Amino acid sequence: MASVLAEPLGVAETSRAAWTNSRVRAVSDTLRTVLEGWQQVPSHLGPPMDAAEVRQALQWATYPKRVTNVQMVVYANKMHENLRLLKATAPFPLKILTQEGDWKGTLDKLISYWSFVQTVDDDAIILFSDAFDVFVNGFDGHELLRRYFSFRLPVVIAAEENIFPREVEAQAHDALQILDELGFGNASSPSRFLNAGGIIGVGWALKRVYNDIRENMIANNPHMLMAHSDVVGHWFLHAYDQYELWRFFIRHVIAAHYQGEELLVTLDTEQLIFGSTVFRKENWPDLLDESISGGVHGVHSIDVDVPLVFDAPQSLFEIWSCRARFVGRRHFPIFWHG
C-alpha cells in the first residue's frame, strides 16, 4: 500500500488548494440549505441571488460584526491622475469630498470629515485616506476588512516612523507607552507615530472621535490658531489635521488608562493596512547606508528634525505580482502612502 506523506498542520489551510474535513462539511451543508432558500425567494422580493451576490454574502458572514456599508473617502479640491488611479483601484467604493476655493490647509479636510461622519450609518465601515499619494497594493476589500477586524478595536489609524508635527512630541511618547501597556500598539516599533493619512473605523466610533476633535480643536479660536501658526510657521496649517488627531489620541489613551474609558483607537504600527514609503535612516542602518541620502535627492520639502528617506531604492522592496513589501517589514500592506 502506498504511504501518504504527512503535511504539517496549517499548510493545507493556507494554500490555494481546495480541501475539506468533517467540520467544514457540516458548516457547508448548513449554509447550502440557507443559500438554496434565498435562491428560491418569492418573485415580489426580486430575482434569485446570482453567483456574485452569493460569494459576497458568504464573505460578509465571516466577520465578527455586522457591516451595513463600506466606503473609502478622500478630501480633494481638484482632480489628479493619482486620484483617478485610486478611484479605479480602491478596495471600497470611493467618495470624494471637496470645498470650493484654493487649498489653505487641512482644517477644511478635518471639518469635511467631521461633517461626513454625521451622515453615515453606525455600522458602516469608513476609510479616510489622503487623496494624491496613496496607492492600492493589489489587495481586495475583503482582505482589508479581515485585517481591520484583527485589531479588535473600532478605529485604526496609520502609523509612520517620524513624529510630526513636533509640537505634540512632549506628550506623544507617553501616550504611545500607555497604548502599549493597554495591550495595543507597539511602543518600540519603528512605525509607532500617528499619521493622519489613513484612518479606518466603524461609523459610531468615528463619530465619537471627530465630535471630540470638533469640540476641542484649537481652530474654535481662530485668533489662537493664527497666533500659533505665526510662531511655528504657516506650514503648520498644512499639518493641522494630524496635529488635532494627535491631540485627540493623547487625550483618549490617557482617559482610557487613568479614567477607565472605553479604548476606541489603536495605531497600525506593523503597517498591516497602511504602509509608508518614508523611512527614518537611523531605524534601518543595515538597509539605508551612507550612500542613501535623506529627503528626495537629498532635499527635504517638509519641516523635519531627522534624516528621512522618501525615495528608497527599489532593491529594498520585495515585488510579488502587483504587490510590494519593504524588506525591513514583515507584511505586504493594503495601501502604500508616499
| Domains in the chain: boundaries | 70-132+165-270
Residue 330: which residues within 8 A CB-CB, separation 6 or more? Answer: 270
Determine the pLDDT at residue 137.
97
What 324-329 contacts at long range (C-beta under 8 Å, 24+ apart), as own/partner pairs, is 324/137, 326/275, 326/277, 326/279, 327/287, 328/190, 328/279, 328/283, 328/284, 328/287, 329/191, 329/270, 329/271, 329/275
Taken in order 111, 115, 117, 122, the sign of the CA dihedral is: positive
Determine the pLDDT at residue 121.
97
Determine the pLDDT at residue 5.
42
Determine the pLDDT at residue 14.
46
| Residue bearing cell 532593491 | 315
Determine the pLDDT at residue 13.
41
- Going residue by residue through the chain, which has 338 residues, state the pLDDT in tens, using 9 for 90 and above: 444 444 343 333 445 688 999 998 999 999 888 888 877 777 777 788 888 888 898 999 999 999 999 999 999 989 999 999 999 999 999 999 998 777 767 889 999 999 999 999 999 999 999 999 999 999 999 999 999 999 999 999 999 999 988 889 989 999 999 999 999 989 999 999 999 999 999 999 999 999 999 999 988 988 877 876 776 666 667 789 999 999 999 999 999 999 999 999 999 999 999 999 999 999 999 999 888 876 655 565 555 667 899 989 999 999 998 999 999 999 999 999 98
Residue 313: which residues within 8 A CB-CB, separation 6 or more? Answer: 292
Give the three cell numbers for residue 127: 476609510
Determine the pLDDT at residue 99.
84
Burial class (CB in 10 A: 0-12, 13-18, 19+), 239: buried
pTM of the model: 0.89
Determine the pLDDT at residue 235.
66
Determine the pLDDT at residue 231.
63
